[in-house]
Amino acid sequence: MSRASRLLDLLQLLRRHRAPVAGPELARALGISLRTLYRDVATLRAQGADISGDPGLGYVLRPGFTLPPLNLSEDEIEALVLGARWVAARGDARLGAAAEDAVAKVRAVLPEALRESVDAVTLTVPGVQAAMTVVDVAGIRAAIRKEHKIAIAYRDERGALTRRTVWPLLIGFFERVMVLAAWCELRRDYRGFRVDRIAECEVTATRYPRQRKVMVAEWREKQHVVAAARN
């Protein structure tokens, strides 16, 4: 492996982690010595990468450093295009358009030899008849990013309508439906709401009082406990 490739691999490895990563862990992942890792970190810093940390404390890459022109492998191109096609087939209209735009941008900056790989990708996503939604899913996604409460009118499987204020956390995409994971003020607990059963939705100007990332961690832990109990 060339040194340039190794430096790019180190950047990609750091980008996968939000918390500091120990030097020995990075060195093992890259198959290099700890001494070489320290030299590579110093080189990237000299080139403008904002890498915080020191030996014994771990390293983290701060946002803002721009990679050189894209140099993707054919496998990476296929993974990106496949993911974009999946989103386009199952996401809301705005998200689907964003997926197509993202692929177009990637294609535009690829070396000419790799551009054909985008069009000739060997993987595909089967079409599905997704459940129809009547609310603006893009608005729900915006509320999640801003950590704002939403007021919804929700129909259960029997058609009974309830009005609730929920704290939206995540949208899960399944084969035919989308499910909103949220804290429900009515039930005072985490709940899942099928988006196609939300009859009305209003994004409020009120932020919910807890950090979303903390609540997502709690929600994931609850899912693990429920899954373990079923097994």
Runs of H (alpha helix) within the chain: 3-15, 23-30, 34-46, 74-90, 93-109, 112-119, 137-146, 212-230
What per-residue confidence (pLDDT) applies to 99? 85
Class of domain 137-230: mainly beta
- Give yes or no for residue 118 having a pLDDT over 70: yes
State pTM to two decimals.
0.64
What per-residue confidence (pLDDT) applies to 228? 67
Beta bridge partners of 216: none
- Give yes or no for residue 104 having a pLDDT over 90: no
Class of domain 3-61: mainly alpha
CA nearest neighbour of 115 among 155, 72, 154, 59: 72
Lowest-confidence range among 31-45, 60-74, 163-177, 187-201? 60-74
* Average pLDDT estimate for 171-178: 87
- Residue 21 DSSP code: B
Runs of H (alpha helix) within 31-180: 34-46, 74-90, 93-109, 112-119, 137-146
